[in-house]
Each structure stands twice: as C-alpha cells, then as structure tokens.
Structure 1
Amino acid sequence: MAIMGFTRFIANGSTHDASEWEKHFNTESLLRSLALEVLLGFSDGYFTLANNFYVYQNGLDSEQFVFIPADVDTTLGLTIVKMADMLTGNYSTFPGFNKRSLMPQLLQVDDLKARFEHLLQELSVHVVNPSVLDPVIDATVSMIRRDVEWDATLPRLNPFGIGFDEDIYPLDRETIDDAMSHTVPVPFDLAVNGPVGYLSLAGVVWTHHHRLPPSQQQQQQPTPRLRPHPTLPQQQPSAPSSSRQPPEGMLDPRIPSLHTINTDNDNSTSRFRQNTFEDRGVLVPTASSSSTSEQRAGRKKKARVISTRK
C-alpha cells in the first residue's frame, strides 16, 4: 500500500532531495498546514496529538499524499498544551514539534526547511496579522453573539474530561487542570477582548504598542480595551527570559524583517507574557504604513480572541 511506503520513507529519512519527498507527499500542502499550526497555536493538531488531519491519496494508483487539516478549534489562545512553549519565538519549541519523525526528517532537507520558514514569514505578514484578522474577528463576534447568549441559557449536560499519556502527547497537566477548574463562566466580551487570566484560555492581545517604533516602546503600556473581570484570577508579572536562543542546529525563526517585542529588553510587555501571543516575534510586521496607522488611529488598544470556552 502507498501509505506503508510513505511511512517507511519517513522512518528511513535516507534522502535530502526535495523532489524525492514530493513523490510521496504534496510538500506545499504539508508545510503550509504545519506553519499555520505554529502561528495559530493549534493545540489539538498534528504536532501535539497527531490529531485532526487527513492524508488524501492523490489518485488511485498514486504514491503521493496531500495533507488536509481539520477541526482547528483549539487555536488563538485556547489550549490544552503549555502555552509558554508556543510563545518563545522559536518554532522548534512548539509542543510536539520534534515528537514524531516527520518534521525532524523533513527539516533535514534544506529546500523544504527554507520553504517552511518562508511560509512562516509570509503567513505572519499577510494572514496572522492584526490588520487582516481584526475585521474577521469583529464580523465573527457580531455573527455569533446571539447564539452565544442563547447557548449560555442551556443546561450543561455532558461531562468534560481529558485523559492522556504524557510519554506520547505533549499535553501540560497544569494547563489541563486549569481548563477543568473553570467555575466562573467567562463573559463573552471579556473572552473576545481579554486578557482572561487562565493558563488554558488566554486570548490574543493586539495593541497599538506593537506598531510603535522601538524608541517609544518603553514609554507605552499596552492597555486592554476592557478591564479584567474582577472575579477571575489575575496573572502576576513574569520575569524576563534570560535566554531566547534556539536549540543547537535549529535556525532561529524570528524573522529579521519582522519586529520582535522581546521581554529581554522590553519590561513593559512582560506582564502580558504568560497569557498573550504578543511576544510572538513572527506575528508583527516591522512597520505599518501611514494608511494603516490612520485607519486604526481612532481605535483603542485591543485585546482579541476568536475561541471561547463553552
């Protein structure tokens, strides 16, 4: 069977030739999907749980497969893995990134590694970017608000539980326990605007602080659009990281053309480090155009999230 040949090919890892990989897998579909897993913080996908994806055989007699992601609900601040490992600015620390053979073998191929890192940059600039996502988030909030209000009136009938083998899955027990202990319902607007204050439900905080020149960053405090809910636990400021270097042999994926808010030299952002994505260097363009600045000049600093707990 073709799938057996493909798994043998991955396990052997005997070639650094991109064309040989292409015979077995549509590498573009794979690299795009896995780059998005990293950028969106997908905690129930291939890297973390080997879950929520399909491989489609590209023809009855074909040896090539196409990667198809599915069910991307635990993203953008809703997680069952350790969020801090998603926020380092180094894709190799993403939970489960090196757990299975596929990605380590694939990144041994120079052309494919370069393409993966290029996709991280391109998707950061053109997709996972506040100027692109904000209108989508606003429209989504408007569309689902009445359904969320209705859903909140329904009785909670089904129990919720998660069991896992820590040797197989890179889930984080502290985050799981936090998810299971939510006794205070999170108001919809707070879940949208954040910060929420849970390990497992953080939200995505976008602020105009991202777009200030470095000389002004120290003078500005990123302010959420809504105050934290008084009944929710508050995060304490975290100490700046002493080292942000990638593991030996891995290229640091913090793209030079993107501006990184680094807690090593910007203490003003460190209080958000534990519960936001704002320390993700690959998310924020170096500079915004005047039109973008003018468009957003009248808007308050934002805290945003798409996913909410039910």
Structure 2
Amino acid sequence: MGKFEFEVVTIAGIEKTGFLDMDLPQVKIVSHPGRAESRSEDLGNGVNLELVAVPRGNFVMGSPNDEEWRNWNGNTFADIRDVNVEGPQHNVVINPFWMSKYPVTQAQWRSVAALPKVKRDLDPEPSNFQGNHHPVESVFWCEAVEFCDRLSQKTGQKYQLPSEAQWEYACRARTTTPFYFGETITTNLSNYRGTDWKFLDKTYPGFYGQGTRGIYRQQTTEVGIFPPNAFGLYDLHANVWEWCLDNWHDNYQEAPTDGSAWVTGGDDSYRIVRGGSWLYFPGICRSATRHKYALNIWHIGIGFRIICCQ
C-alpha cells in the first residue's frame, strides 16, 4: 500500500473568442493536485492490477430534472420526456472500498483467464480492439463475474463488480456536475464520440452543454491517458461502458440507500452498465447515465472494473 499523487482537472468555463465571438469557443482548464491511497495485486508475468481506496461518504444519486440528456431512456434513442430513469434523486451512504484504478485491461484479463476455472470458461482474447493496455471489451456480464471469482480464489479476498451506487459515487468523487470534469467535457479529457451522430432521423450532438465538438477515435484507447477524478480513478467517462451488479430497474423508486446492489425485483435478465463508451456522444457519458444490457449480450463498447470491500 502507498500514496500516489496526480493532477485533478476541472473545466472552469467556456470562453468565446475572435471578432464578434465568431471563432471556436476555448475551454478554460484549471487543475489542482490530488492524492490517494493505492495497492496492487500481482497477477504474474509482470502484470499488476492497481486498486485505489474510495473513502466512506454519502452523496445524492441520480440527476436533477433539468440535467441535459437525462431523458434518454437507457434502452433506445427515443426522446421520451416523461422517463425518469435517473431519478428520483436520493441520498446514499457508501462504506469504503477499493476500486480498480482503470477498467480491467486485456493483459489483466489474459492473466486471470489463465487461473483455475470457478464456474465457466473464459476466452483469453475476447476483445475487438487489441492492446495489452486497452480495456478488455466484448465480455458478457457472467464472464466479468467469473473474472472476479477467479481473482478472489487466487487472492483469498472478495472481488466483485461494483453496485450501481458504488460506481456512481466513485465516478462523481464528490462532484455534483454532469461530469467529474465539470459542466461539460472535451475529447482531450475522455474518449467518446465528439462528432455529431445521425441515427434514425435524429442528430445526437458531439458536444454537451456549452462545450465544443471534438474528434471521434472510433475505438478504445489505452487506459490512464486522460486525467483522473479527485479519487484518483481513471476512464470513468467513456472509453468502455462498465458492468455493474444490479438488476435493471426503470427508476430509483425504492432503491437501496446503503450502497448495496439492487438485485431484487426489476428485470433480472438485464444488468446495468455505466459510463458510456468510445461509440457514444457525450450526453450518454455523464456520471448519472444508466443503460441496460442483457446477460447474454456482449458488445465492443462494454468492459468492466472491479472492487474489493476488504
């Protein structure tokens, strides 16, 4: 265990420039030093899995009624104004836990896939986009669970997917804005679709709020190349969606308030994914965005990260 230091980046504002403010807006960035506790698991062959201590706390889960793109219904691209997928907002108490600093990488996946089987086989090379330091993707929810089970068996500690509440708390890192970077986001800070996307006769913008359009990389990037949040966690906005433990529920009515996974009721043929991905526009990469995927579905935009509560 030990401390590590990093820079926390915040978008302080958008400045109009040029004659009559006609040039592209300039994003004003400020930063301050951060510090967090970390530890690592040795997976063998020079591969480590770094974990960051997420402190105890409480937060308001979900988004306010006026947050842009909260009306996206978590399933289709229909513009449904009465959907409340990200509400009602509610207070949640979170106990401390460890979370992987990055989404699980392909090197880490390959190492754990070589460990003794617990319940199911694992393909050591499932990903569409190749690279040891790229996030693993194209894995089923049950395969992510098997990864956790194998690592738990190897280490004697309990590893698992985060609950939806733990994920959002870790992502927000005490922020209340749509992104942990602030009111908007840029493709210099995250890997999402920064160009407009036309789909089913509707255009989904490559910018959010007062922000600017950017680039579309059309694939995953290596983990850790963008700034972390105030807890020292990387890549929670975009790159890959991340599996959570919870069953899908259409809203937060009667949701747990203790940070536990909501695995009763709802639709247990679907699980939650969070964070957005390289494929999606920025409005779908917010801290509060929720989406569902079937247990028997994999996708080139879905990966995961893990937690340990010990």
* TM-score bucket (shorter structure): under 0.3
> Which structure's residues are more often strand, by fraction?
2
Greater Rg over alpha carbons, structure: 1
- TM-score normalized with structure 2 length: 0.24
More helix by share: 1
Structure 1-normalised TM-score? 0.24
